[in-house]
Amino acid sequence: MPELPEVETTRRGIAPYLEGQRVNRVIVRDRRLRWPIPEDLDIRLSGQRFVKIERRAKYLLLNAEVGTLISHLGMSGNLRLVEIGLPAAKHEHVDIELESGLALRYTDPRRFGAMLWSLDPLNHELLIKLGPEPLTDLFDGERLFQLSRGKAMAVKPFIMDNAVVVGVGNIYATEALFAAGIDPRREAGSISRARYLKLAIEIKRILACAIERGGTTLRDFVGGDGQPGYFQQELFVYGRREEPCKVCGSILREVKLGQRASVFCPRCQK
């Protein structure tokens, strides 16, 4: 599933080609995503200019003059720019044709993504309860420490909770916990303030690094410019079960936490 750095990479890739551009028409070939694409999307969006392309958590906000298209890439979706008239393949569900001669094409083989319309996107039911962005001052180790008090759940699913902080998905939670030396199985409420301060720093550092590298290439994801991410080659633990730790040489172990695989080093993480 594309995580926050991949979505931010997509935003950066498509924004220069969308902002200031007028939409000529919207072609919807299949409305059956996680939630049906609105029947009147073409009427609402055609003729408008895109004003600003933003991101909130893993949602892309394509802000037009009146209203916003909320897009989520789901498990296998991507957005890329193509020439208008390029024949669409089987899973290429939506084209937003621009006056520039380019079209923003949405592809989603599993159809688990979303394209929804809102006049007040930040108060939309999908966004209104989200926690702070991890790369802002609203998120820090003190927040993690305070929210974790009394919680018996494991620390990994705790930091993956979007009400705590958005965008810390499986890949980057795994890597941040390794960098902070914290066992992902530890009870969230048992971890000290000092260790949460370090964990927050590592979350910020790793996400920022992944964004600069273009995200992590997994499954069907490609960036908005059609290029894959390159952070995967820098992963220390994610996807490396039974391989030696790059720091101490111990064999990495895998456990299931919250129905997600979690790889960790039994020596480096306590």
Catalytic site includes residue 2? yes
Where exactly are the structural domains of the chain? 4-123, 141-264
109 in active site: no
Question: Is residue 91 part of an annotated ligand binding site?
Answer: yes
Burial 93-114 (b: 16+ CB within 10 A, else e): bbbbbbeeebbbbbbbbebebb
Query: Alpha carbon of 206 to those of 27, 239, 245: distances in Å?
Result: 38, 16, 18
Question: Residues with Cβ < 8 Å from 214, sequence gap 6 or more?
Answer: 5, 9, 223, 227, 228, 229, 230, 231
Average confidence score pLDDT of the chain: 92
Per-residue pLDDT reduced to its tens digit, 24-72: 999 999 999 999 999 999 999 999 999 999 999 999 999 999 999 999 9
How far the first Cα of the chain sits from its last, in Å, is: 28
Give the pLDDT score at 81: 93
Q: Can you name the residues that pair with 75 across neighbouring β-strands? A: none
CATH classification number, 141-264, choose in 1.10.8.50, 3.40.50.970, 2.40.420.20, 3.30.300.30? 1.10.8.50
The answer to whether 106 and 113 are in contact (CB under 8 A) is yes
Tell me the per-residue pLDDT of 114-134, one tens digit each, with 9 for 90 and over: 999 999 999 999 999 999 999
Residues in the chain: 270
Calculate mean pLDDT across residues 175-179.
97
Model pLDDT for residues 194-238, shown as the tens digit of each residue: 999 999 999 999 999 888 877 554 433 345 555 545 455 578 999
Alpha helix (H) ranges present in the chain? 4-18, 41-45, 141-148, 155-159, 170-180, 193-213
Could you say which of 3, 6, 8, 97 is catalytic? 3
Q: Name the pLDDT band for 18 (thresholds 50, 70, 90).
A: very high
Same topology between domain 4-123 and domain 141-264: no
3-state DSSP assignment of residue 176: helix
Residue 234: what pLDDT? 75
Give dist(CA 77, CA 203) in Å, integer: 25
Candidates 65, 35, 42, 68; CA nearest to 54 is 68
Share of the chain above pLDDT 90, in %: 84
One-letter amino acid at 93 equals H
Known binder of ligand: residue 270?
Answer: no
Using one digit for the tens of pLDDT, what is the confidence trace for 84-111?
Answer: 999 999 999 999 999 999 999 999 999 9
58, 105, 156, 195: the catalytic one is 58
What integer pLDDT is reported at residue 233 of this predicted model?
A: 54
Find the radius of gyration of the CA atoms of the chain.
20
* pLDDT score at 217: 47
- CA-based nearest residue to 131, from 162, 170, 156, 155: 162
Q: Is 219 assigned a ligand-binding role in the annotation?
A: no
Confidence of residue 75 (pLDDT cuts 50, 70, 90): confident
Active-site choice (25, 31, 44, 260): 260
Q: Report, as an integer, the average pLDDT of 240-256.
A: 97
Between CA 225 and CA 220 the distance in angstroms is 14
Neighbours of 159 (CB within 10 A): 25
Would you say residue 259 has pLDDT above 60?
Answer: yes
CATH number among 3.20.20.70, 3.30.750.24, 3.20.190.10, 1.10.150.240, domain 4-123: 3.20.190.10
Phi, psi (5° rounding) for residue 35?
-125, 140
pLDDT-above-70 percentage for the chain: 93
